Every structure is written in structure tokens, then in C-alpha cells.
Structure 1
Amino acid sequence: MRELLVTGGAGFIGSNFIDYMIENTSYHITNIDAFTYAGKKENVKRFEGIANYRLLECNISQKDELNRVFDRQYDAVINFAAETHVDRSIESAVPFIDTNIKGTLNLLDAVLENKIKQMIQISTDEVYGSLKYEDPAFTETTPISPNNPYSASKASADLLVQSFFKTYKLPLIIIRCSNNYGPYQHCEKFIPKVIGNALKNQKTPLYGDGLHIRDWVHVKDHCRAIYMVLEGGKFGEIYNIGGNEERTNKEVLNFILGFLGKDEQLIHYVEERKGHDRRYAINYEKAFRQLGWSPLVSFEEGLTETIEWYKRHLKDELGE
């Protein structure tokens, strides 16, 4: 049985990826998470009792903790563990440096020392910076140009990964994905926040003019891409994963309000976020050409399912 180490598997994308792997493969999965505010034990309760799964509490920024996890020979490591919320990084960059940079370095050292056969670094399209409306979408050769502490920390981690590939010839791959949405996402993120606030008839803040554009991809499509990279990706490569679903933040918010039968008066325009990127767009041609991957879930279909999921899971909170 192949052994897979998943870091940050109690978070949004990590827990969805474990779902995918349990459903579609026979990998034995070791899930490690520091269980900070974003990585919740509730997110992984559904895996309890599964024979080919184990859960260990571990903070990858603490090398002693991480070393204890390597009590078996892993075939691959997938690093989801990260601080990810831009607003929090603007308030304090320290946790982002600790987890996203120092933690990634610790993992790379462990991969080198333990002769792991493969590591995939889960990055973000935000390392590329911001696009103008008329610019072509990001490709894997677009220079990185991060504009906030979060994206700078992820770009730094990517550079470390690339340096370990070049210097030590380690079997490393980077995936940069556009904005994910779907079940189990933390309520501080845009789509869950809008859904939760609308269900409670509370106003939702919208930065600036609300016309910032993001490319959205359903988390299930992202997880399928990660698996395809795991099975067929080339070491030393970067793979962009996107949904080809560009929407302004205001369009997304209005879709959710309309679906829930709520009025646009719940939109509360607030002062622009510092360093706010105007537009992201991903060209995933390389992933399609090399791996045969393309998104399957349309934004309207996926967002409808996501709204329904949060309606069910917010019932207790809302007293329904």
C-alpha cells in the first residue's frame, strides 16, 4: 500500500483532498495538522474509523514535531499546510512567515533526509500579483510579483521548492490554483461569509467598488488535478489550475443574495483593502496538455451546491 503524507489536512482544500483520495484510491493517508483556527477537528471527524487513515497533531514550523511524523517511509508528501487569509496577513505577517516559509523549509529538509519519492507544494495564483482587465491570464512562466504578505510568503515558499529541486535534485512539483470554493471552507473567506451573513440577514462587506475579478474553481476539480499531478506530473514543473470562471466579487455576491431571496441592501461597501489585487486569471493549458485535466464543475452549478451545503451545516448556528 502506498503511503501518503498530507499536511494541513484538516483545512478546507486538504480535507476535501483526503475525501477524494479515500473515495478513489487505496493510498494509506497520514494527515497532520496544527489545528489552528482554520484547521478544525470537526472537518476530519468523517474520516474516523477508516482503516487506511490516521491523524496526527503536528505543526510543520516546529522541526521536532515534524520529525516524529516520519516514522514510516512515505511515497509522497502533499503540503497544504498554510496560513491563507490575506486580511490576517496584513494585520500580522509573522504566522505566515512561520508556517508558509519556515514550515515549507522544514518539509523540504525532511524530504531530503528521508529520501521521499515525491513532494507537491500547493501554492496559489496570488504569487503572480495582479492583472489588468486587458492582460492575458497567468501562465506558469508569468514572473511572480506578490502584493501582500500572504502571497509574498507563498512565493517565498515556491522559490525554496525550486531551489531544492535545482540544488538537491529532489522530486518536487508546484501547483498554483485560482480561488477555490466548496464545502468545509472557513467562514472568514468570501463565499462562506456572504452565505452566512445573508442567511442571518446581516450586511456583507464588499471592498472598494466590488469589481475585483477572481477566477473560481470548485475544490473537487482542484483535488482531481492534484491527484493527476501526483500520478503523472513531471518533477521540477509548475502546474496552473483554474476554472475559466472569472467573476467580479459583486457578481458573486449578487448571485448568492439572489439565490437566497435576499435584497442587495445587504451589501455594505467598505474602504479598499491595502494592496488589493484587481484581477486574477489562470491559463491551465499546460495541465490540460500534459495531464488531460480541465474543470468539470461550472461555477453556477458548484456555487448552488455550495450554498445548499452551507444552508444545511449552518442550521445549528442559526437556531433553525
Structure 2
Amino acid sequence: MRVMVLGGAGFIGSAFVRELNKRGIKPIVYDLLTYAGRLESLKDTDYEFVKGDIRDEKLHETIAKCMPEVVVNFAAETHVDRSIYSPKDFLTTNILGTVNVLEASRRHNFKYVHISTDEVYGEECADENSPLNPSSPYSAAKASADLFVKAYVRTYGAKAIIVRPSNNYGPRQFPEKLIPKIIIRTMLGLHAPVYGDGKAERDWIFVEDTARIIYDVLERANWGGEVYNIPGGQRYSVLDVIKTVGEVMGKDVKVKFVSDRPGHDRRYCMTTRLKYEVTPFKEGIRKTVDWYVKNKWWWEPLINDKFFVEDEPWSKGGVNT
């Protein structure tokens, strides 16, 4: 199978490249290498690389040259805090970028795997047929992109599926996100900022499990716009996560409660018709901590980022609309 991975130098994308390598597949990685897309995340993997933006015509030229059978799209702006600070970036990449990929699918007739998120459902526990009710600019952009996928399947006969994982964690996740931020800041002797009362719940899944499940899904998909939820089935609050990380690290995590994030959802919850096994949460945290402890070279250049350093990074500098 000839596979192109859009955003393959990012967090889940690079894990998917590793999964493809396990299956004997050398993918084409197409990535703009923005702040969270790094070739360092693809160390020791086998891939062809093309630097490019999913919003540009170059994507069509690359696909025409490489002729992939399957295109998997991980390329997206993903951090909710950044979407509050700069919503336009999420509109152009997550919506217009997706439409550009869908236009390419019309020209070149590949099978398209669209990576979405549990956040499109809002706070209600959802199955694959539940209505979309996004709260943040990030989840609104992802929900819009999902609807465009559905529209292209219905209107143009595009061969596509939508995959909605729950909150991923694991090695090579950018330090702006909760779990690597807790781990790294604790290693540096700094506090972990906690929004509101810290009781917001997320459903956690280890990134290697997500990569494996996505591949298993695409192998048996019908390509008629079906939605596949991929929950981890392990719901923990922010305070629960902090407690688990502290236990694994053998350290007390310093906590600083800060003002709650605007529009902050209290929980995410999904069910699924798929059958699979996942890594137990504490075991996954242990693997994640071990990786960050052993790979300071990967994260040390990143820790001056505004969204790692500041407790309320969305609140300063205004909003770029």
C-alpha cells in the first residue's frame, strides 16, 4: 500500500509513521514543519519527505507525482489555548486545508482518512451518530472540516472516513499539552498550572494505540464517509493526571490554580462500535515519563514557547481574528 501521511512529523502523525514501518510500509510524509512538526520526531523511521502546506497547490502536485492509494491527514492546528489566542490560523489550516485535500481526492481518487477529535461532540457522551456541538475555535474548526468530508462523500463520491480519537498522550508530544507540560515542569522544579478547579475530565489514550487502531480501521473501512470513534475508555480529571504523573516520577508535583480557560468543557466522553485493547493509563504514563527523562535533547529547545512558559497563555497579547 502506498500511503501519504499529512502532518507526519507531528505527534500522532509520527507515531502513525512508526506503525506503518512496523507493517512494512515506507510512507510519504508531507509536513510544513511548523512549531509542532519536527523531523526530530521521525528519528529512526523510514519515510520519504516533502515539505509543504496542505493549503497550497503544491499538495496537488505532490500527490500527482507520488500517486498514493491512501492519504491520512494529521495536519492541523490542535491546541485549544492557541485557538483562543489566534482563531484564524485554525480556520485556514483545519478547514481550508481539509477542503484542499478533498479537492485533491476528487482529482486523484485516493482513499482519504480524516483525523478529527472527540471535542467536536462537546460535553455530552457521544456515539458516532451524535450531533456535533463544539465549544472552542479549535473544535469548531474540526467539526466544520468533518462536515466538509461528509459533503464531499455525498456530493462528489469521495472515498473517505472520519476518525475521532480521544485525548492522546505519549512520547514526542509538544510541551504545550498537559501531560508533557507536567512532566517537564516537574523535572525543572516548576509548578504545573491548573485551569479552574482541576476537575475537568478527559478520556486518555496512549498514542501508539491510536496509531495501531487507525491502521486497523483503514484496512477494513467501507470508504463511504463512516465515522469511527476511538475512545481510550480511561477518564481522568486534570488532578487525577497530576497525581498519577507524580506517583510515576516519585515526586510531588507543584500545583498552581489559575483562572479557567474560556469555554472550557468539563468532560469528553465517547462510545465506539470498534473492539480493541489499549495501554492501561498508569503504564502509558510510565512509558511517557521514561521517554521524556531520556530524551531531553528533543524537548529542551522547545521550553521557551509561550504556551509552555505562561500560566494563562491565551490572555495576553489580544486575539488575532
Q: Which residue of 1 aligns with 2:66?
A: 72
Superposition map of 1:137-286 within 5 A = 137-235=125-223, 236-264=225-253, 266-284=254-272, 286=273
RMSD: 1.5
Q: Select 1:34's aligned residue among 27, 32, 35.
A: 32
1:219-262 alpha-carbon deviations (Å, 9 max, x no partner): 11111111011100122210000111000110101111232232
Q: Which residue of 1 aligns with 2:13?
A: 14
Distance 1:315 1:37, change over 3 A: closer
Question: Which amino acid letter does the alignment assign opposite residue 10 of structure 1?
Answer: A
Q: Select 2:109's aligned residue among 105, 115, 120.
A: 115
Q: Is the 8 A contact 2:3 2:28 kept in 1?
A: yes
Q: Secondary structure at the match of 2:100?
A: helix
Q: Select 2:284's aligned residue among 265, 289, 302.
A: 302
Could you tell me how far 1:263 is from its partner in structure 2?
2.3
Could you tell me how far 1:61 is from its partner in structure 2?
1.2
Q: Does 1:91 align with 2:85?
A: yes
Structure 1 segments of 4+ aligned residues over 3 angstroms from their partners: 315-318
Q: Is the 8 A contact 1:10 1:41 kept in 2?
A: yes
Could you tell me how far 1:315 is from its partner in structure 2?
6.5
1:146-196 alpha-carbon deviations (Å, 9 max, x no partner): 000000000000000000001111111000010001111111110000000
Q: Is the 8 A contact 1:242 1:295 kept in 2?
A: no
TM-score normalized with structure 2 length: 0.90
- Name structure 2 gaps, 5 residues minimum: 301-321
Q: Percent identity?
A: 41
Question: Which amino acid letter does the alignment assign opposite residue 36 of structure 1?
Answer: T
Q: Secondary structure at the match of 2:78?
A: coil
- Name structure 1 gaps, 5 residues minimum: 132-136, 289-293
226-235 vs 255-264, greater mean Cα deviation: 255-264
1:281-308 alpha-carbon deviations (Å, 9 max, x no partner): 1212x122xxxxx133111111111111
Question: Which amino acid letter does the alignment assign opposite residue 302 of structure 1?
Answer: G
Q: Secondary structure at the match of 1:307?
A: helix
CA distance in 2, matches of 1:297, 1:317: 24
1:50-80 alpha-carbon deviations (Å, 9 max, x no partner): 3xx2000010012x22122111321110000
Q: Is the 8 A contact 2:123 2:269 kept in 1?
A: no
CA distance in 1, matches of 2:277, 2:85: 34
Q: Secondary structure at the match of 2:197?
A: coil
Q: Which residue of 1 aligns with 2:305?
A: none
Q: How many residues align?
A: 299
Question: Which amino acid letter does the alignment assign opposite residue 30 of structure 1?
Answer: I
TM-score normalized with structure 1 length: 0.90
1:8-53 alpha-carbon deviations (Å, 9 max, x no partner): 000000000000110123x341100000000012112322xx3xx2
Could you tell me how far 1:120 is from its partner in structure 2?
0.5
